[in-house]
Amino acid sequence: MNKIAIAGAGAMGGRIGTHIANAGYDVTLIDYWEDHVQQINNNGLEIQTETETYTVDIKAKHPEDVSEQFDLVIILTKAMESERMINDLLNVDAIQDDTAILTMMNGLGHDERFSKIVPMKQVFLAVTMWTAGLRGPGQLLLEGTGTIELQRADGHADDRTEKINNIFNYAQLNSKISDNVFHSIWSKATLNSVLNPLCTILDKTINEFAQYTNARKMITPIIEEIVEVTKQKGVSLSVDELVEKIENAYPIEAQGLHYPSMHQDLYKGRLTEVDYLNGQIVEYGKAFDIPTPNNEMLTHLVHQLEMKK
Ligand code: NAD
């Protein structure tokens, strides 16, 4: 795995890309945002951490300008741009038959969508607890630490899984190979499907939301619908464990002070990933004949807010 592309090099793509580049790998950032690409090529990627600000020299390209082939492509666009990105990279032959395509985007159903474009054996899924922020074109804000969990999407063993895991660990990204990545994907997607739309609609931080006496009564029906869907998807999660996971995010010393990313996207005038969270749960519900009225209403409310921006 010599040539690595980070396709979608915003906050998270920038973070993962600089870690891997700093470990000595040949990394190319690929992004649609012209100013960002130009800034990175002219001045490097500026990283601000809790303690220092420094610059990383790294290549950046617009997808149309890519002329190399990659062994590993890490998709970190927003979910709604991911299929366009894969198609654009196929058009310039950057993705070959043996290229591993890994995503650690939030949300659900990426494997199903990607496998309509490339064979499922090329698709790898990861869940990450790393976080990152973007201060402007070419400027990242990187705080805290995180972990990565990955698996080939069809669950099959593959030498490439081991190789990707080794690259991530060499890059100090705290990675492990999962034997059930969908459990972690659904667990994280449930937290995001509950707190992201509620805090966005209510314009509250996570801790402000938690102050309401009946917060648990608000989150439980949303979670119950998700758990019914997960049973059909072969993922074993309980309502109680998911309520506990979400309530663990409430304290100020956990994630309480944060507005979730959906809130940040909406208030920056950008589209949100709601169709890949609650909206995807509604789609699965329809396919399995499971009613999902709470998730459907949250999806509509967020789309209504998107229209106001
Ligand atoms: P991001 O908004 O920082 O970047 C996503 C894409 O949007 C990039 O291609 C970026 O260049 C582009 N973009 C950003 N601002 C832009 C602007 N002003 N003009 C034009 N283009 C712009 O998104 P992200 O936070 O890196 O998220 C990528 C994926 O990773 C998402 O699925 C997200 O849910 C997931 N994720 C993010 C975090 C995090 O902490 N940021 C953590 C885990 C997972």
pLDDT in tens, 119-170: 999 999 999 999 999 999 999 999 999 999 999 999 999 999 999 999 999 9
Looking at residue 308, its pLDDT comes to 84
Read off the pLDDT of each residue in 52-77 and give the average, rounded to a whole number: 97
| CATH fold match for the domains 3-179 and 183-307 | no
Residue of 58, 62, 76 to test ligand 1 pocket, by largest number of atoms within 8 Å of CB: 76
CATH superfamily of 3-179: NAD(P)-binding Rossmann-like Domain (3.40.50.720)
What per-residue confidence (pLDDT) applies to 1? 87
The residue whose CA has the least distance to atom 15 of ligand 1 is 10
Q: Point out the ligand 1 atom lying closest to the alpha carbon of residue 105.
A: 32
The answer, yes or no, to whether residue 90 has pLDDT greater than 80, is yes
pLDDT mean across residues, the chain: 97
Q: 228 CA distance to ligand 1 centroid (A)?
A: 30
Strands 133-136 and 123-128, sheet pairing: unpaired
Query: Counting atoms of ligand 1 from 1, which one is nearest the CA of 192?
Result: 34
What span, in angstroms and rounded, lies between the C-alpha atoms of 60 and 65? 10
Distance 72 CA to ligand 1 centre (A): 19
Architecture of the structural domain at 183-307: Orthogonal Bundle (1.10)
Residue positions annotated with a catalytic role: 188
Q: Please report which helix (H) or strand (E) contains residue 90, including its range.
A: helix 82-91
- Alpha carbon of 34 to ligand 1 centroid (Å): 15
Provide CB contacts within 8 A for 193, sequence distance 6+.
Answer: 222, 226, 277, 278, 281, 295, 298
> What distance in angstroms lies between residue 226's CA and the mean position of ligand 1's atoms?
25
Alpha carbon of 245 to ligand 1 centroid (Å): 24
Name the pLDDT band for 309 (thresholds 50, 70, 90).
low
Give the residue among 75, 73, 74, 45 at the shortest CA–CA distance from 57. Answer: 45
Q: Which protein residue has the closest C-alpha to ligand 1 atom 30? A: 105
Distance from Cα 56 to the centre of ligand 1, integer Å: 19
| Binding pocket residue ranges, ligand 1, CB within 6 Å | 8, 10-13, 31-33, 36, 76-79, 105-106, 128, 131-132, 134, 261, 273
Q: Please name the residue whose Cα sits nearest to atom 32 of ligand 1.
A: 105
- Distance between terminal CA atoms of the chain? 42
In the chain, where the domains are located: 3-179, 183-307
Q: Collapsing DSSP states into helix, strand and coil, what is residue 200?
A: helix
pLDDT over 90 (residue 108):
yes
Angle subtended by helix axes 181-202 and 293-308, to nearest 10: 50
Q: What is the pLDDT of residues 194-232, one digit of tens each?
A: 999 999 999 999 999 999 999 999 999 999 999 999 999
Residues of the chain above pLDDT 90, percent: 99
Q: Which CA distances in Å does 72 have to 150, 158, 166?
A: 14, 14, 13
